[in-house]
Amino acid sequence: MKILTGTTPILVLVAGVMTLSACSSKVEKPEGSFAVRQKLTALQADPNLANRAVLPVQQAATAVLTAEQPTKDKALAMYRVKLADKKVEIAKAVAQTSYLDEQYKTLGAQQAGARLDSRTQEADAARYDAKLARQDATTAQAESELARQQALELQQQITELNAKETERGWVVTLGDVLFDTGRAELKEGSLNNLSKLSAFLNRYQDRTVQIEGHTDSIGSSDSNQGLSERRANSVRRYLEAQGIASNRLTARGLGEHAPVSGNDSAASRQQNRRVEVIIANTAAAPL
């Protein structure tokens, strides 16, 4: 009994430390996500609307779940909340359109059965047509605004990556500062561009990527080929470690066979020593 009594304070201390650790590691949901959740809940609770736009409501619910995920990237959190809010608005607009359409049909049947005056029927029908037209316009406007916002976000991200648009897609060129001479391991102090690239790919998850390694002409062709392949795969592994799905990434080495400049000076050779990341400029397009 004395031994058990003596260990009790230790157990209490350990439990307290574990509780404090759990509390300190709690991450808050992004700002604005609670308001979007309330809008979705109100839509799902409305008996006139909840079952009239099943797919848009499901898409909105998925977007809200994503918006609620904690993240240290404030720009990403804001984008997710805005996207979820737009999707909830679209789902509500689609449901309201369906509801008004059913009301219109019901009214028409009631009027026909009761043999109402034709001019009254026309006036009522015109009012409902006007409501439907306004609702359609609201839906179209919301969808247009969402598309415009997504396009602006995409262009801003592309600009930050210093990407060049080509027939193959957006090309992000990573210079040889990523690697030590003759090495394929990524240098810890030169990952800023790769960090931006991984954030972009995590945000636009429908984009596929091809990674190509290149070298200058110094050394043997076989050695350069192997080095270019290893460097391309180093970039691929880094992106996978940042959460990019492996089926979105392909990597290959081109050695010294695709120079962008002559190999007759130190400056031109430095330009040729690079890794190019080609991002598909259409969703899920082949590279």
Distance (Å) of CA 156 to CA 142, 152, 159, 160: 21, 6, 5, 6
Instruction: Say if residues 226 and 213 touch (Cβ distance below 8 Å).
Output: no
Among 275, 276, 272, 277, smallest CA distance to 215 is for 272
Q: Which residue has the higher pLDDT, 156 or 83?
A: 83
**Collapsed DSSP state (helix, strand, coil) of residue 72:** coil
Q: Which of 66-80, 136-150, 238-252 has the highest mean pLDDT?
A: 238-252
Domains of the chain: 29-158 (no CATH), 161-279 (3.30.1330.60)
Distance (Å) of CA 97 to CA 11, 103, 137, 157: 61, 10, 10, 35
In this predicted structure, what is the pLDDT of residue 151?
Answer: 63
In this predicted structure, what is the pLDDT of residue 247?
Answer: 96
pLDDT, tens only, 112-141: 666 556 667 777 778 888 888 888 878 877
In this predicted structure, what is the pLDDT of residue 262?
Answer: 85
- 98 Cβ contact list (under 8 Å, min separation 6): 52, 53
Region label for 83, one of left (φ > 0), alpha (ψ between -120 and 50) or beta (otherwise): alpha
What DSSP assignment string belongs to 139-157?
HHHHHHHHHHHHHHHHHHH
pTM value?
A: 0.53
In this predicted structure, what is the pLDDT of residue 19?
Answer: 47
**CA pair distance 286, 27, nearest whole angstrom:** 38
Whether residue 226 is predicted with pLDDT greater than 80 in this model: the reply is yes
